[in-house]
Structure 1
Amino acid sequence: MAGQAFKFGTDLWDPTHRFETSWLLSPWALFFCRALLSLYAFTTLVFVLAWQCAHADTGCAASQASFSFFTSLTYWGLGFYFLAAAVHTFTYARTGVALLDRFPRPLQALHSAFYTTVVVYPFIVTIVYWGVLFSGPWFPEVFSGWSNVSQHALNSAFALFELALPRTDPPPPLHMLWLILVLALYLALAYVTYADKGFYPYSFLDPEKQGSLVAAYVFGIAVGCIVIFGVVYGLIWLRRFVTETKLGKHGKFAREGHSPDAVGEMEMAKPPRA
């Protein structure tokens, strides 16, 4: 797997537009849903930053500090993913060819990896927040309750949308390496934040308070990431099996009558003969 980590592949890229189509929604409806989710994510992020600047005793310090939190960074990632996915879906719905199809292969591979982060990381954020960090009682202010539900619960709902409705294939197993690498880079960012700003984004990363448990937390989250990847892989495979193999719903396409079956898709995926 490690030897394949930097290879982008030579097969035909996404021949039946799985990233831009759904087994249930038309391309236009899928575009609208993705655009709406992107709008909600960015509206939440910008409103939270502005509210904190306007109402916190320390001014915009809390807003500036938010960029050190994995929750905030992954939520920005959700916003940008759904924006990019909406653009690709829109161009496919309008012309029958997605903008993503015109990208160089490395960018196409990065989009695939981006998709994997979107369907894995939100579940880590939700589980860690509600299972480890949140100790109650419920938030006394409407703003606090809404912002935390949006960023620690609806984030997983957004991920479930991408798991359930598009026609995407299960992510390549080598994406596990990149998921762990990004988590390791975030761990480095957390300690850079402490060195620069004097605080740890998450208390379980503080060695003075947690001691050797810090290693256990870090290792546990890494293992949890791999487990969640496996669950996500299985759910996507199950969705494809049920919707396509059992129900015969091969997708709704931009061009009427274009509904390739599994055999046709494999033929389309073959590289052209010399």
Structure 2
Amino acid sequence: MKLLGVSSPFDPTNRFQTSSILSPVVLACARLLIACYIFAALFYRIARSAAFDGSHSTRDSFSYFTNLTYWGLGCYFAAAAMHTLVYAFSGRAPLERWPKVLQFLHSLLYTTIITFPPLVTVVYWTILAPDESPFSTLYSAWSNISFHALNSVFAIFEILIPRTERPPWLHIPFLILILAGYLGVAYITKATKGFYTYSFLNPDKNGSGSVAAYVFGIAAAICVVFVIVWLIVWLRLVLCEKVFGLKGKFSSKARGGRGDGWRGEHGKLTEEKELP
């Protein structure tokens, strides 16, 4: 399970809830603010669709990978904010007591929200945007910036600010499986609703060979994105914890470490840096 991001004990130094530069309370508030913006954007689009097209766009929205990843971002930031607030005021996060399978799913969710948004951004602005008019109206400009640009900004926040470890390499097959599952959703949408969610998936327009090239190209792209993100996280860990000696800002309620006879990594860190 450790290779999948589930150690025993899980996250003993509360890397998911702490930062090298922000206190747990500030980190929780920042995550909550991001979650509020994401859900405000999603619910505004739902309300606008209800007012202008009888919710037709809303009914189609879950067929789009962009929207699915945006909902994933919102859910992650809301859950992460809750865990961080609980940790800030109690010294322990609810995540520590969850079953292993839920800890794995949380770790995998973190990996998806730091890899899928950059993929969405790159695919949209390089493949789809040239055939559209992303800034033709004020609403379309705001929508495309929020869903195809700020999504990566939010991902970068989670890559750089928390003390999270590098995503496990064994998460790559799961990322590819998720993309394969979405491919099924896209073609089910075509069969049931009569439209392709993304033009590059249309074999009538592009040919089967081009569609296959796009599919395998995106699968390869998520692997490249994963490697880049892994390296950035590794660099952040080296710079913060080795070069600058920033061991993290912990909850004032936390005492010592967990696991390894209370002599684990968290204990070592708190010996070097007094808890705030």
Aligned counterpart, 1:50: 47
Q: 1:8, 1:248 → 2: CA distance?
A: 24
Aligned counterpart, 2:168: 172
What is the Cα deviation at residue 266 of structure 1?
A: 7.9
> What runs of 5+ residues in structure 2 fail to find an aligned partner?
258-262, 271-276
Q: Secondary structure at the match of 2:35?
A: helix
Aligned counterpart, 2:74: 79
Q: Deviations over 1:202-231 (max 9, x none)?
A: 010011111110000000000000000000
Aligned counterpart, 1:198: 194
Aligned counterpart, 2:274: none
Q: Secondary structure at the match of 2:16?
A: coil
- Conserved in 1, the CA contact under 8 Å of 2:12 and 2:266? no
Q: Deviations over 1:34-85 (max 9, x none)?
A: 00111100000010111122123xx211111111000000000000000110
**TM-score of the aligned structures, taking structure 2 as reference length:** 0.89
Aligned counterpart, 1:226: 223
User: Which residue of 14, 18, 37 corresponds with 1:17?
Assistant: 14
- Conserved in 2, the CA contact under 8 Å of 1:253 and 1:259? no
- Conserved in 2, the CA contact under 8 Å of 1:251 and 1:259? no
- Conserved in 1, the CA contact under 8 Å of 2:114 and 2:158? yes
What is the Cα deviation at residue 172 of structure 1?
A: 0.5
User: Which residue of 89, 108, 120 corresponds with 2:84?
Assistant: 89
Aligned counterpart, 2:107: 112
User: Which residue of 193, 197, 214 corresponds with 1:217?
Assistant: 214
> What runs of 5+ residues in structure 1 fail to find an aligned partner?
269-274
Tell me how many residue pairs correspond in the alignment: 263
**TM-score of the aligned structures, taking structure 1 as reference length:** 0.90
- Conserved in 1, the CA contact under 8 Å of 2:4 and 2:171? no
Q: Secondary structure at the match of 2:247?
A: coil
Q: Secondary structure at the match of 1:199?
A: coil
Tell me: CA distance 1:138–1:263, structure 2 relative to 1, closer, same or farther (3 Å): closer
Aligned counterpart, 1:145: 141
Q: 1:267, 1:26 → 2: CA distance?
A: 15
Aligned counterpart, 1:134: 129
